[in-house]
Amino acid sequence: MERVQVSAPIAVRASNGHGFDIIAEPEVRRLADYWNARRGARRMPRHADIDPVGIPWALSRIYLLDYEPDEDTFRYRLAGGDIEDMFRPHTDGTGLKGKTFKQILPPDVSERMHASWVPMIAQQAALYMSGQVYHAESRRAVGARIILPLSGDDDDTIAGALGFTQCKWEFEDVMAELPPLDICAIPLDEIS
């Protein structure tokens, strides 16, 4: 498997034919199943197929992004309240809408975050992440995240993503024991 390197190595493992069955957290799986139902017979749903009415339980923890291939960047379209709260110190209170990773995070962090999302585009895959999903100065969050591709009008090109993060915050006294971030690519052709 190809490894993308940034300030620290990022390894992405394959799901080895298990599809969404590798997802351990019920709410993360629930969003993956919602995405799967919205895509129908297509490889992935479009942005317009994602209807908040169908996922009220997830709204505070979801985020929609556009992918801009010319710039090879992700730009926030919207983010739920919990996600906005997490990034508020980096947005000067202006919110995530319209911002890229580079605009809200220090260079080394935005580079690492981008590198962890690139396999969605390069491998045409959903990304399931578990372990340490957020890192703040005096605390870390352990949990899981799913990044699900969304298509443009042609149904085959990834034009954005639907993300969901579920986590629990841990403070300095237990941070040394936290698991690293594990990233698994689930190829779109493997999802049924």
Residues 6+ apart with CB under 8 A from 95: 79, 84
Mean pLDDT, consecutive 10-residue segments, the chain of 192 residues? 35 87 94 96 94 93 94 93 83 88 86 89 92 67 88 90 85 63 90 87
Residue 112 has, within 13 A of its CA and on its CB side, a CA count of 15
Position 7 scores a pLDDT of 34
Position 171 scores a pLDDT of 66
Position 103 scores a pLDDT of 92
CA-to-CA distance for 36 and 159, rounded, in angstroms?
Answer: 17
* Tens-digit pLDDT profile for residues 28-80: 999 999 999 999 999 999 999 999 889 999 999 999 999 999 999 999 999 99
Amino acid in position 154: D
- Under a CB-based contact definition with an 8 Å cutoff, are residues 15 and 186 in contact? yes
Position 88 scores a pLDDT of 81
Quote the Cα angle for 57-31-170, to 5°. Answer: 70
All structural domains of the chain: 4-179+185-189 (3.30.450.20)
pTM over 0.85, yes/no = yes
Position 177 scores a pLDDT of 67
